[in-house]
């Protein structure tokens, strides 16, 4: 059977399951909050154009207003100063929007310590059990943070010292950018970096190093708990905003059930 016919048949029989990794996008979807003097993104808002009324008797539609980095979204290399010569979100090849994905589960560690940082040794140990990270694929970092996504306060988990959410150490970010075969890195948190990464050297190492290396970010993912450690295929579809630094995206995973 041709591969695509087999895929359609498997989807129909649910032997391949489609898992939505996307957070619902609304005015309540958490957004990152930077301190003064930095600019901030805005949440989603809808402005009604018509709703079966005088403005349009037969149709309903809205204008949408939001930031490129609101909700489940895709970071293009040009988002960071280190990647300023890299691709914008419209230039990311469509062929890269469908890619294999692995899931590294550190939800227990993040529950015990919201400032938990992934280290190279954690990944090496995972590779010892599951094999190498996928060439040209996504490494998805499960921390259990998606259960907090209904509340901006719980999701950002900030106190007087700033936000406290799990992330990646500087050394590990450097390794992911320079040595790991992955195309991109995905998280459940508001960004790809730890909440405390503003104080790292360099600050925001995942953004700085991965985007600087031409790799991609995928954030505010949900339902990673429903994915196997290896074998999923992720379809991540940002809008091709010309010149854009990123875009809200629909992220779906295909998972084979035996
Ligand atoms: Mn972003």
Per-residue pLDDT of 177-206, as tens digits, reads 999 999 999 999 999 999 999 999 999 999
191 CA from centroid of ligand 1 (Å)? 6
Token duo for residue 85: 């010569």
Q: 81-96: per-residue pLDDT in tens?
A: 999 999 999 999 999 9
Q: 3-256: what CATH class?
A: alpha beta
227 CA from centroid of ligand 1 (Å)? 23
76 CA from centroid of ligand 1 (Å)? 8
- Band (pLDDT 50/70/90 cuts) for residue 258 is confident
204 CA from centroid of ligand 1 (Å)? 11
DSSP code of residue 49: E
Catalytic residues: 79
Ranges of each domain in the chain: 3-256
Q: 106 CB contacts (<8 Å, ≥6 apart)?
A: 116, 118, 122, 141, 142, 143, 166
Report the C-alpha gap between 157 and 238 in whole angstroms.
27
Phi, psi of 45 (to 5 degrees): -140, 150
Summarize the confidence of residues 105-117 as an average pLDDT: 98
Closest alpha carbon to 154 in 109, 184, 114, 100: 114
245 CA from centroid of ligand 1 (Å)? 8
Classify 214 as helix, strand or coil. Answer: coil
Q: 36-58: per-residue pLDDT in tens?
A: 999 999 999 999 999 999 999 99
Classify 147 as helix, strand or coil. Answer: helix
């Amino acid at each position: 059977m041709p591969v695509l016919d087999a895929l359609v048949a498997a989807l129909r029989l649910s032997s391949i399951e489609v898992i939505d990794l996307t957070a619902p996008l609304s005015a309540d979807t958490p957004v990152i909050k930077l301190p003064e003097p930095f600019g901030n993104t805005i949440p989603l808002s809808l402005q009604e154009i018509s709703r079966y009324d005088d403005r349009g008797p037969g149709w309903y539609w809205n204008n949408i207003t939001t930031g490129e980095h609101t909700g489940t979204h895709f970071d293009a290399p040009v988002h960071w100063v280190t990647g300023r010569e890299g691709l914008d979100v419209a230039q990311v090849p469509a062929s890269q929007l469908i890619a294999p994905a692995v899931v590294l589960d550190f939800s227990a560690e993040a529950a015990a310590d919201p400032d938990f940082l992934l280290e190279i040794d954690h990944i090496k140990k995972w590779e010892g059990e599951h094999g190498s990270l996928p060439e040209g694929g996504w490494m998805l970092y499960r921390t259990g943070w998606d259960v907090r996504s209904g509340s901006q306060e719980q999701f950002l988990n900030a106190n007087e010292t700033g936000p406290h959410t799990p992330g990646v150490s500087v050394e590990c970010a450097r390794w992911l950018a320079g040595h790991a075969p992955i195309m991109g890195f995905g998280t459940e948190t508001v960004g790809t970096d730890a909440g405390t990464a503003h104080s790292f050297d360099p600050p925001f190492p995942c953004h700085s190093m991965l985007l600087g290396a031409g790799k991609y970010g995928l954030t505010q993912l949900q339902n990673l708990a429903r994915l196997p450690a290896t074998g999923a295929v992720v379809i991540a579809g940002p809008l091709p905003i010309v010149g854009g630094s990123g875009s809200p995206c629909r992220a779906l995973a295909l998972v084979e059930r035996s």
